[in-house]
Amino acid sequence: MAGRRIFGGMPVAWKIIATIKRLGGEPNFPPQREYFLVAAPDQATALKALSFKRPDLNGAEFEVRGRADQWFMDWLDFGEESEILSIQVIQ
């Protein structure tokens, strides 16, 4: 895990969902949801980093779903400060 920046011990990543309302309204075009892991020492910093790196999400509703599990972060080799991982849902 060389090159990781650690926040007072173990790396911390926050699970964030961004919900974007689409033009045309609910029945025809339901809101789009995007899922992110954001490495940051706290939730506020995570939201600021995501907003800065993804200005296209301006106007989205953000929901912080808590901290990511350590085993998941290790599996992805994730945790460098301000690192953002976008998770795509394929249906």
* pLDDT at residue 7 tops 70: no
Q: Does residue 7 lie in a domain region? A: no
Q: Does residue 2 lie in a domain region? A: no
* pLDDT at residue 48 tops 60: yes
Q: Does residue 28 lie in a domain region? A: yes
Q: Does residue 62 lie in a domain region? A: yes
* pLDDT at residue 59 tops 80: yes
Please tell me the predicted confidence (pLDDT) of residue 73.
Answer: 86
Q: How many domains does the chain have?
A: 1
Strands (E), 40-90: 61-67, 84-87
Q: Does residue 44 lie in a domain region? A: yes
- Per-residue pLDDT averaged across 63-70, rounded? 93
Q: What percent of the chain has pLDDT over 90?
A: 43
Q: Does residue 8 lie in a domain region? A: no
pLDDT grade for 6, boundaries at 50, 70 and 90? very low
What is the pTM (predicted TM-score) of this model?
A: 0.79
Residue-number span of the structural domain to which 17 is assigned: 13-87
Burial (CB < 10 A; 0-12, 13-18, 19+), residue 71, is exposed
The Cα–Cα gap between 59 and 57 comes to 6
pLDDT grade for 1, boundaries at 50, 70 and 90? very low
